[in-house]
Amino acid sequence: MTLALHFILGFITSFLGTLTPSMLNMTTAKISLSKNKVEGVKFAIGASIVVLAQVYIAILFTKFLRSNPSFVQSLQKLAIVIFAILSFYFYRQSKKDKEPANSVKVKAGNSFVVGLLLSALNMFSIPFYCGVTTALDVAGWLKFSQTTIVSFVIGSALGTFTLLAMYANYAQLIQLKSKGLAKNLNLILSILTGGLALITLINLF
């Protein structure tokens, strides 16, 4: 049950974190439109493999802070800061007009390799997962055994893949709705991350 819970937590947080239109998912849609759905899925696989490493690094960082009692409050404060920044970021994004999918440039070459490269260049990913794992740890939901960590990491990668695969399969619809979708989803994520920052602040006191 514990393994299943960690898998679900990883899947949901990763899925939601990838939900808002961004470089990765809009590139997936563009590849699907300009090439085909199979190439879009190959890109999604490449991007999701990198997520495995990014989430694992984030968990190791959280685990290090947790194993040092002097860093417990720092851990909570870090979660507050990260989620407050994320909330502000998503709010700002909700006020901007997002570029439609056909304006996203797609690099030539193997879609799988392009997915690996673009995902590795996504500097937003590790801070996001640091915030997520820190908040889950503070809430007492995240366990740091090797099996639960692996379960969470795999769930996160599959959550990203599932969302990107959806962008590949529904690329035409997303292309038409991308502006409204970006605004609404970013606003929702802003509220969610702001709420998490508030909850963590309350727990700190």
Domain count for the chain: 1
Stated pTM of the model = 0.71
Tokens of 188: 């929702």
| CB proximity list for 8: less than 8 A, separation 6 or greater | 155
Rounded to an integer, what distance in angstroms lies between the CA atom of residue 179 and that of residue 161? 22
Rounded to an integer, what distance in angstroms lies between the CA atom of residue 132 and that of residue 82? 9
Compute CA 204 distance to the chain's CA centroid, rounded to the nearest angstrom: 25
Q: Look over the chain and give the mean of its residue pLDDT values, rounded to a whole number.
A: 79
Looking at residue 100, the DSSP 8-state letter turns out to be P
Tokens of 172: 């035409």
So what's the pLDDT on residue 65?
Answer: 74
Confidence of residue 100 (pLDDT cuts 50, 70, 90): very low
Domain limits for position 94: 2-204
Instruction: State the average pLDDT over residues 67-85.
Output: 70
CB 139 within 8 A of CB 204: no
The backbone torsions φ and ψ at residue 58, rounded to the nearest 5 degrees and listed phi first, read -60, -40
